[in-house]
Structure 1
């Protein structure tokens, strides 16, 4: 089978001048050429964990930067979603849960906050604060963006609270989604 393809290609190359056509006829036989490149849209070479370290009394922390490669060989849409909509205190105490995504005050400890907003910037795509996004409402970082193969810097920074934070560990999970768009 491979020999036949190579022979047919050699005959086409020798018998016909170079053309931009996809189909060539040689002595009454048609030889069709085709190929396919898979659509790929992904974030590569990134850290899976961002550690803000010791948060200040009102949640101040040094911004954290990370690099990643963004590769998409077609136009694409980019969006970002947050599991909690903020860094949330890990606790079993119902009174220490935040009132809402927009009011991070601890339910039973009104003088303290139990959640902290943070910002995410993806160089070249855009930025969002986590209070604006949630698991059910991702924020668009762009649509019909051109194909890309580049290194991008991701920067994460806390947004200080108006109230001091309760002590403990604060967590969240963020998903950056790249969705291919056909040409």
Structure 2
């Protein structure tokens, strides 16, 4: 069977719209219903053997949890994340009553993607960040040793890129999204042999 030529194939709108903006509206709020929806989406993610390793710390702007998460962010992320309506930390539980959870990080990643896509469905955006201090989260939230903070997430409503202030940040915000071509992404027969 002959392979089709690489073309742009349409995907679901909420997938196409997913991105990680830094320009957020500091006056916007996220409702508890919206938070519940994005967390429900995360909760229903697939996981190895239904082990469900994902857990979330959830703070709304102005509350103590939000502040603790914000304080743990890297300086670069603090420059823009203070405008987020909610700050979360995705935590990976590595053990349950049966022992070590297999593929816990993969399960957390699946939950995270569900959360981000449901945020789009709710008219919000979510920006995941590796730039934070996991030890501070572990300490400040008194996490058990088998609960590992893996990523911080800013949730909010997009704003004009100019809220970021400096020219470099604004141009980064409006730069076109880039993805490697499908020919370099999916292989068949042997590594590097494009499936498309």
The alignment's TM-score, normalised by the length of structure 1, stands at 0.25
The alignment's TM-score, normalised by the length of structure 2, stands at 0.23
Is the radius of gyration larger for structure 1 or structure 2?
1
Normalized per residue, the structure richer in helix is 2
Normalized per residue, the structure richer in strand is 1
